[in-house]
Amino acid sequence: MNFITPIQIPPSTIRIGYEHRTMIFGSCFAEAIGQRLSDLLFSVDLNPFGILYNPDSIATAIRRLMDGNLFTADELTRYDDLYHSLLHHGSFSAPTAEECLERINARLSAGAEFLATADRIIVTFGTSYVYRWKGTGAVVGNCHKMPDGYFHRERLSVDKVVHRWNLLLDSMVRRRPEVKWIFTVSPVRHLRDGAHENNLSKSVLHLIIEKLISLYPTIANYFPAYELMMDELRDYRFYAEDMCHPSP
């Protein structure tokens, strides 16, 4: 008996080699892939804002790196004796605003410098659910364990995300037409809201990527990491103890 469903991966014109400079954005799955490439001595820069899960926050991060605008104190939020950026992972948080900004802006400057010469960008979308900061209505990349009442939760729409990314990709094409993009959907399941909600979320991500690939067929491609995990590696032997994350 065959216990797997083989997934055929079509040949891609977008390859990654040691001659390329690759920037990686996205979820914890992106972190794992990026760390693996780094261990193999590929030239990579991984998540300058820390782990980000939703397409809107990832687009915001890439846009900020392209523009190179440093963060200021009025973009920070103080909670639980720490200063946080709602666009960054908690590893950037600090007891003082000065220290927090120093961490954020040092990493932003290094990331912007790398992006200016990168010719491959890997983007992994993890979820289409987002949290909006009620004070501004802006989508946040990290809630930093603040009370639920500070945020409004919603699922992103395909059309709005595609429009946002259309503007971003058009801008990059004008600046650096040689850059190639590889999109993936993280196979890590978000089951806190149930299996059905997770499937809805992942479906939105697939539709977003499908539309982007159709709009930019010469510079963008899709790698079926989600399909590989769900079908070819669906046996729980290939999962971590939480049965949601792939094993190392």
Q: What is the pLDDT of residues 65-101, one digit of tens each?
A: 999 999 999 999 999 999 999 999 999 999 999 999 9
Confidence of residue 158 (pLDDT cuts 50, 70, 90): very high
Q: What pLDDT shows up at residue 19?
A: 98
Q: Which residue has the higher pLDDT, 112 or 11?
A: 112
- The CA-atom distances, in angstroms, between 214 and each of 1, 59, 144, 201 are 38, 18, 36, 21
| Among 66, 82, 166, residue whose Cα is nearest residue 116 | 66
Each domain of the chain, given as residue ranges in start order, spans 22-67+106-141+156-238
Phi-psi region of 95 (alpha: psi -120 to 50; beta: other; left: phi over 0): alpha
Exposed e or buried b for every residue in 102-131, given b needs 16+ CB within 10 A?
ebbeebbeebbebbeebebbbbbbbbbbbb
Which of these ranges, 101-115, 139-153, 191-205, 210-224, has the smallest mean pLDDT? Answer: 191-205
Q: What pLDDT shows up at residue 1?
A: 62
How far is Cα 22 from Cα 120, in angstroms, rounded to an integer?
Answer: 5
Q: What pLDDT shows up at residue 11?
A: 85
Q: Which residue has the higher pLDDT, 246 or 45?
A: 45
Q: What pLDDT shows up at residue 192?
A: 79
In what helix (H) or strand (E) does residue 44 lie, and over which residues does it extend? strand 43-46
Residue-wise pLDDT tens digits, 164-186: 999 999 999 999 999 999 999 99
- By percentage, how much of the chain surpasses pLDDT 70? 92
How far is Cα 205 from Cα 187, in angstroms, rounded to an integer?
Answer: 11
Mean of the per-residue pLDDT values of the chain: 92
How far is Cα 83 from Cα 100, in angstroms, rounded to an integer?
Answer: 6
SS3 at position 4: coil
Q: Which residue has the higher pLDDT, 88 or 228?
A: 88
- The residues near 166 (Cβ < 8 Å, ≥ 6 apart) are 212, 215
Residue-wise pLDDT tens digits, 11-63: 888 999 999 999 999 998 899 999 999 999 999 999 999 999 999 999 999 99
Q: Write out the two tokens for 35.
A: 């760390």
Q: What pLDDT shows up at residue 238?
A: 54
How far is Cα 193 from Cα 22, in angstroms, rounded to an integer?
Answer: 34
CATH 3.40.366.10 fits 22-67+106-141+156-238, yes or no: no
The arithmetic mean of pLDDT across residues 197-215, rounded, is 96
